[in-house]
Amino acid sequence: MTSIRWLGHAAFEIEIAGKRVLVDPFLSGNPSSPLKPEDLQHIDVIVITHDHGDHFGDSVEIAKKHNSTIVSIYETANKAGGEGVQNCIGMNIGGTVKIDGLSISLTPALHSSSSNPCGAILSDDRISVYHAGDTTVFHDMKLIRQLYKPSIALLPIGGFYTMGPREAAFATALIKPKIVIPMHYNTFNVIKQDPEEFKRELKRMKIRGVKAVVLKPGEVFQV
């Protein structure tokens, strides 16, 4: 069974392939997070989509405490290594690493940062989870669908720094997951959004076969 727990903003705890994976663990200083780093159980892998503080977050502290492996773009992994993390895998877009039964692939994202932003696909060959990172919609999301066939997509809807509800609905149409979970909204006033508006946009676009699941911070979705 795969479980996905939203920790607010773009942070998720995902149990897949027998691993507990954190993505973008911005917990300290995150007003929407129900957890602090010290509340976490053992973390095997940390995936970082880019080096902005609200995504790089508490990665170093958590990785040191749990002896976690950090997977990210090469420069972001080097940053974590420079801060004392022992196990860092620095990849690039299009690359895949296998950690036991877990495959992690990095995908494009349209955003800014001092290192190349990315999204990530987590797969156990049964379920593929696509965390889009900070991005707007782009047509090559159709290639992500064709290459990785994500069952679940975690998409930002906050607007301002990323796509908003309308753009995220277009992204959903390109990716065609079975489940879509909105993220990266309501953490701060500038990205305040109603996730029900995202669901309304999906209906306006008559997107079939996709279930939108709106989580509250701390809630778990299982498949």
Q: Count of domains in the chain?
A: 1
Return the bridge partners of 3, or none. 15, 222
Pair 124, 101: CB distance under 8 Å: yes
10 Å CB burial of residue 36 (0-12, 13-18, 19+) is: exposed
- How many angstroms separate the CA atoms of 109 and 84, rounded? 27
Pair 153, 130: CB distance under 8 Å: yes
Question: Along the 223 residues of the chain, how does pLDDT read in single tens digits?
Answer: 999 999 999 999 999 999 999 999 999 999 999 999 999 999 999 999 999 999 999 999 999 999 999 999 999 999 999 999 999 999 999 999 999 999 999 999 999 999 999 999 999 999 999 999 999 999 999 999 999 999 999 999 999 999 999 999 999 999 999 999 999 999 999 999 999 999 999 999 999 999 999 999 999 999 9
Beta strand residue intervals within the chain, DSSP E: 3-6, 12-16, 19-23, 45-48, 69-73, 88-91, 96-99, 102-108, 118-123, 128-131, 152-156, 179-183, 211-212, 220-222
Indicate which CATH number applies to the domain containing 36.
3.60.15.10
Q: Is this structure's pTM higher than 0.95?
A: yes
Q: Structural domain of residue 131, as residue ranges? A: 3-222
